[in-house]
Homo-oligomer: A and B are copies of this chain.
Amino acid sequence: MKKDSAEDRPSAKVPSPLVSGRQRLMEAALQLAATTRSLASLGLREVARQAGLNPNTFYRHFNDFDELGLAVIDQLSGQLREGLRERRRRPAEAGLKLSDTANPGDAWRKAQDVVRESIALVLDFVTEHRTAYVVGIREMHGSSPVLRKALRKVLDDIGEDMTEDVLGALQLPLLQREDVAEISQLVIRQMTFFSLDYLEHPEQREQIRRQAERFVLLLFWGAIAAKAPQELAASGLRFPD
C-alpha cells in the first residue's frame, strides 16, 4: 500500500492566504462539480487537493457536503436576488411617469420592456456565474434532499419577487395576485431550461432570448385573454412579432 502523504496537496495553487480556506474550498468544489460530477459525490480529499489544502482542513469548516452546498447557495442566491432587485428599481421608477391612469396600451408596452430587461438580466447572470448556475440546477434535481429544498426555495423566492414586481410596477389589468403568482412560478421554472440552452448554444443566444421573451409575454397575453377576451380585442392591442 502506498503512504498517502505529499501526493495529496499541491495540485492547484500556492497556499496564498489571500482568500480564506473556507472560500477556497467552496470554489474548488464548484469547479470540480461543474466539470466532473455531482456535489455530493465529490471526495473530501479531492476538493482539498484542488484547493491546495490539507484534507483535514475540510472538517474545520464543514461537517459534510450538504453544509458546503448550503454555504455556496446562500452566497450566490443573495447575489442574484440583489442584482434582480437593484436593476428592477430603475424601470420601475421610469414607469411611474405613466401614472396609474395610463391606458392599457401603455401598460402593455411597459410590460414588454420590463420582461425584456428582466430576461436579459437573468441571462447575463447565468453567463457570468456559469459554473455555479450549472451546479445549482444539477443539485436542484440531485440526490441531496437538503440542497434540493434549498434550491427550490431560491426559485420560489425569486418567483415571489417577480410577483410583487408585476403587481406593483406593471399594473396589468384584470390579473389577480394568484394569477400573477402562478405565472411567475411557471416563468421562473421555464427559465432554467432557457438559461441552460443559452449557455450551451452560444451561437443561438439571440434566438433563445427572443423565445424566452415570447414565452413570458404569451403567458400574460393568454391570461388576460382568458379573463377578458372581449376587452382585449376591443383594445386593439397586437401581440409583438
Residues of A within 8 A of B (CB): 1, 33, 36-38, 40-41, 137-138, 140-143, 182, 186, 189-190, 193, 196, 211, 215, 218-223, 225-227, 229-230, 232-234, 237, 239
A107 to chain B, nearest CB (A): 16
Q: How many copies does the complex hold?
A: 2
Closest to A196 in B: B141
Given that A37-B41, A141-B141, A189-B193 are known contacts, is A239 also in contact with B226, CB under 8 Å in the complex?
A: yes
A93 to chain B, nearest CB (A): 29
Chain B residues whose C-beta falls within 8 Å of the C-beta of A226 in the assembled complex: 218, 221-222, 239
Contacts of A239 in B (CB 8 A): 225-227, 229
| Nearest 8 CB-CB pairings of A with B | A222-B222, A41-B41, A225-B225, A226-B239, A233-B233, A37-B143, A229-B233, A38-B38
Partner of A233, one of B36, B186, B196, B230: B230
